[in-house]
């Protein structure tokens, strides 16, 4: 089996995920069967209960796994649907080791990090490679070399090479540029590689992160002190958009270097993103879309929405300026919404910020501003309509107000009484049936779709008839017709909301259909109001 392991040094946040994703894109589009694994050294079992402020978006896979946001990048760059097996955490590994110990599978041995934990890690990585029948498996190791949490994973990778697996190590380091002359300093890279060597790993590729272009002098110095050939030192400068990085890396010869090291013959890269990149670089038009959320201080909490809009730009050449608005601010005034061409209300959990989201939806509905609601945005659209069109004062979700007189959003009867965290969650890819002669049918061009979900509460069936009699149409449902999935308004074409998260399946050459629809409607709206 052949693997490329990407480690990081000096500081976190250097872009290991984007570099790993870019490599995966280059390999997939060279005809190699490729998969990728993200190793997160934290003790959490998965990302499902983690605070978006600390960790960014929780990304959901087809199989319902809640994983690190880097898995979203892998899927977008490779144009593949991965699974929970592609995300390893310390929590997962320790859980399986303890379960085996309790079953007596270690035959009374003292269970230790080496060999039991490292064997579990090695077995997991080989299983993923085998299930994908992968020519090459990329492995991103979270954190930085020297972190105590990542040591078992690095040791497992060291052992894999010793066991006979082909493991190529790439190391991401920082090359700071100091002073008015922006002198490039290589000492951090030298020290980081020395730390990696001290645990028995010699990298074959250095990805040098810096603002500008890596100088030939710096390249030679890094090569001299790290024993990495100059051809294996790739400068990774700051880019306008991550989708430009694969091309930058390829022009430095990274593919040829990897093909030679791993003895791949006869493969040639096909640049499927050429037009896509040109549209990103020079969009012919632009729109302003308000993102009305509660985690806007950390835009990574909405990274899949940002990427979905980028995909629309790459397809249509319409740039999207995202205007980040804290939903709580809209409780005082919605005047800032007068400056935008469209409004997106994304998902979230908890009551904080909900009333501001409702005000944003009311503004969109009353002023015919193009609107898209996702998950909680779908539910708050129902609440807003119930309050301000049906006149149901106090209408709410029982998640936010258990005593509401009009629980238009509620748990279904079969969900009630389940207390376990996540026990009532609908997670992963599920079928959605679209009704005939609806806006949704026009958007998707089909009556049956599959989209990823992450929610608990539903539209209360007791209110559906009344909502529809006043102009809200539920144009998409689950396959049984019980759960409402898509809503639109009968008197306009620029208002739609979905219970599912279409942003999770958006791809550079196949954008989320509803995000695409919002941008096109926002473009029309903007032109009319100029």
Same domain for 298 and 444, yes or no, is yes
Residue 39 lies in a domain: yes
We report the CATH number of the domain holding residue 498 as 3.40.50.880
Q: Burial level of 237, CB count in 10 A (0-12/13-18/19+)?
A: middle
Residue 90 lies in a domain: yes
CA distances from 180 to 184, 210, 367, 523 (A): 11, 15, 51, 43
Q: Identify the pLDDT of residue 297.
A: 78
CA distances from 342 to 38, 370, 439, 488 (A): 35, 5, 17, 15
- Chunk the chain into consecutive blocks of 10 residues (it has 530) and report each block's average pLDDT, rounded to whole numbers: 94 92 98 97 87 80 95 97 97 96 92 96 98 97 92 97 96 91 91 95 97 94 96 94 96 96 94 97 96 85 96 98 95 94 93 94 97 98 98 95 96 72 79 97 97 96 97 97 97 97 98 98 90
For residue 490, count other CB atoms closer than 10 A to its CB: 12
Same domain for 254 and 294, yes or no, is no
Same domain for 260 and 281, yes or no, is no
Same domain for 262 and 292, yes or no, is no
The sign of the torsion formed by the CA atoms of 121, 127, 130, 134 equals: negative
By three-state DSSP, how is residue 65 classified?
coil
Residue ranges making up the domain that contains 503 = 276-411+422-528
Dihedral angle of Cα 83, 85, 86, 88, to the nearest 10 degrees: 140
Given 216, 237, 268, the domain boundary residue is: 268
Check 503, 515, 516, 525 and give the catalytic one.
503
**Cβ distance 299 to 306 under 8 Å?**
yes
Residue 106 lies in a domain: yes
Same domain for 300 and 363, yes or no, is yes
Given 268, 284, 301, the domain boundary residue is: 268
Phi then psi dihedrals of residue 344, to 5 deg? -115, 125
Phi then psi dihedrals of residue 288, to 5 deg? -110, 120
CA distances from 110 to 116, 152, 287, 400, 421 (A): 9, 17, 62, 49, 33
Same domain for 299 and 204, yes or no, is no
Alpha helices per DSSP H over 411-503: 439-444, 461-469
Q: What share of the chain is helix, strand, coil (3-state, %, to 5)?
A: 40, 25, 35
Dihedral angle of Cα 427, 431, 435, 437, to the nearest 10 degrees: 100
Q: If we measure between CA atoms, which residue out of 193, 195, 127, 114 comes closest to residue 156?
A: 114
Same domain for 217 and 257, yes or no, is yes
Residues facing 373 on adjacent strands: 345, 497
Q: Which residues of 293-307 are buried (b: 16+ CB within 10 A; e: fewer)?
A: bbbbeebebbbbbbb
Check 501, 515, 516, 525 and give the catalytic one.
501
We report the CATH number of the domain holding residue 100 as 3.40.50.300
Is 451 an active-site residue? Answer: no
- E-assigned strand segments in 41-188: 59-60, 66-67, 87-89, 136-141, 166-174, 177-178, 183-184
Q: Identify the pLDDT of residue 36.
A: 98
Same domain for 244 and 371, yes or no, is no
Same domain for 395 and 453, yes or no, is yes
**Cβ distance 291 to 302 under 8 Å?**
yes
Q: Burial level of 162, CB count in 10 A (0-12/13-18/19+)?
A: exposed
Is 525 an active-site residue? Answer: no
Given 250, 268, 286, the domain boundary residue is: 268
- In angstroms, the CA 281 to CA 384 distance is 39
Residue 416 lies in a domain: no
Residue 394 lies in a domain: yes
Same domain for 189 and 304, yes or no, is no
**Cβ distance 451 to 500 under 8 Å?**
yes
Q: If we measure between CA atoms, which residue out of 139, 20, 36, 71 comes closest to residue 452?
A: 71
Alpha carbon distance, N-terminus to C-terminus of the chain: 59
Place of tokens 């006869």: 266
Same domain for 59 and 145, yes or no, is yes
- Structure tokens, 301: 């909490």
Residue 417 lies in a domain: no
Same domain for 147 and 26, yes or no, is yes
Is 501 an active-site residue? Answer: yes
- E-assigned strand segments in 165-284: 166-174, 177-178, 183-184, 205-210, 233-237
How far from chain centre, in Å, is Cα 529?
34
Check 375, 458, 485, 515 and give the catalytic one.
375
- Crossing angle for the helix pair 187-198 and 216-226, to the nearest 10 degrees: 20
- Number of domains the chain is built from: 2
Question: Does the global pTM surpass 0.85?
Answer: yes
Q: Identify the pLDDT of residue 52.
A: 72
- In angstroms, the CA 457 to CA 311 distance is 30
């Amino acid at each position: 089996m052949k693997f490329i392991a990407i480690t990081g040094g000096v500081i976190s946040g250097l872009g290991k995920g984007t570099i790993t994703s870019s490599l995966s894109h280059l390999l997939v589009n060279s005809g190699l069967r490729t998969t990728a694994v993200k190793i997160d050294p934290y003790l959490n079992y998965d990302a499902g209960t983690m605070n978006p402020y600390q960790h960014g978006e929780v990304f959901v896979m087809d199989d319902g796994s809640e994983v690190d946001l880097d898995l979203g990048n892998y899927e977008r760059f490779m144009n593949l649907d991965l699974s929970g097996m592609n995300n390893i955490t310390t929590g997962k590994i320790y859980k399986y080791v303890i379960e085996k110990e309790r079953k007596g599978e270690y035959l009374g041995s003292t269970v230790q990090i080496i060999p039991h934990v490292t064997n579990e890690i090695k077995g997991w990585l080989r299983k993923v490679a085998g299930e994908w029948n992968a020519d090459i498996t990329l492995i991103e190791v979270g954190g930085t070399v020297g972190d105590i949490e990542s040591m078992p994973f690095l040791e497992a990778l060291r052992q894999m090479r010793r066991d006979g697996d082909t493991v190529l190590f790439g190391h991401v380091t920082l090359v700071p540029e100091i002073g008015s002359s922006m002198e490039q300093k290589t000492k951090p890279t030298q020290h980081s590689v020395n730390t990696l060597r001290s645990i028995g790993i010699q990298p074959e590729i250095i990805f040098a992160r810096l603002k500008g272009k890596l100088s030939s002098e710096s390249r030679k110095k890094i090569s001299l002190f790290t024993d990495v050939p100059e051809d294996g030192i790739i400068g990774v400068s700051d880019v306008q958009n991550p989708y430009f990085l694969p091309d930058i890396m390829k022009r430095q010869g990274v593919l040829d270097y990897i093909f030679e090291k791993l003895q791949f013959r006869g493969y040639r890269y096909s640049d499927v993103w050429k037009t896509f990149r040109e549209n990103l670089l020079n969009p012919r038009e632009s729109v302003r879309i308000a993102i009305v959320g509660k985690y806007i201080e950390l835009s990574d909490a909405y990274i899949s929405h940002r990427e979905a809009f980028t995909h629309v730009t790459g397809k249509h050449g319409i740039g999207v300026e995202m205007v980040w608005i804290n939903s709580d601010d809209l409780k005082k005034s919605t005047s800032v919404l007068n400056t935008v061409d469209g409004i997106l209300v994304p998902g979230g959990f908890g009551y904080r910020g909900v009333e501001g989201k409702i005000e944003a939806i009311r503004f969109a509905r009353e002023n015919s501003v193009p609107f898209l609601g996702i998950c909680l945005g779908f539910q708050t659209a129902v609440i807003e309509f119930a309050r301000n069109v049906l006149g149901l004062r106090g209408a709410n979700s029982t998640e936010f107000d258990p005593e509401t007189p009009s629980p238009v959003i509620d748990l279904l009867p079969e969900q009630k009484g389940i207390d376990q965290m996540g026990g009532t969650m609908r997670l992963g890819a599920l079928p959605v049936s679209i009704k005939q002669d609806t806006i949704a049918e026009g958007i998707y061009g089909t009556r049956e779709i599959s989209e990823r979900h992450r929610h608990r509460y539903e539209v209360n069936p007791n209110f559906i008839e009344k909502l529809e009699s006043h102009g809200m149409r539920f144009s998409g449902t689950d396959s049984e017709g019980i759960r409402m999935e898509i809503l639109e308004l009968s008197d306009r074409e620029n208002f739609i909301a979905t219970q599912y998260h279409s942003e999770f399946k958006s791809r550079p050459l196949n954008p989320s259909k509803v995000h695409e629809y919002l941008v096109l409607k926002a473009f029309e709206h903007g032109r009319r109001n100029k």
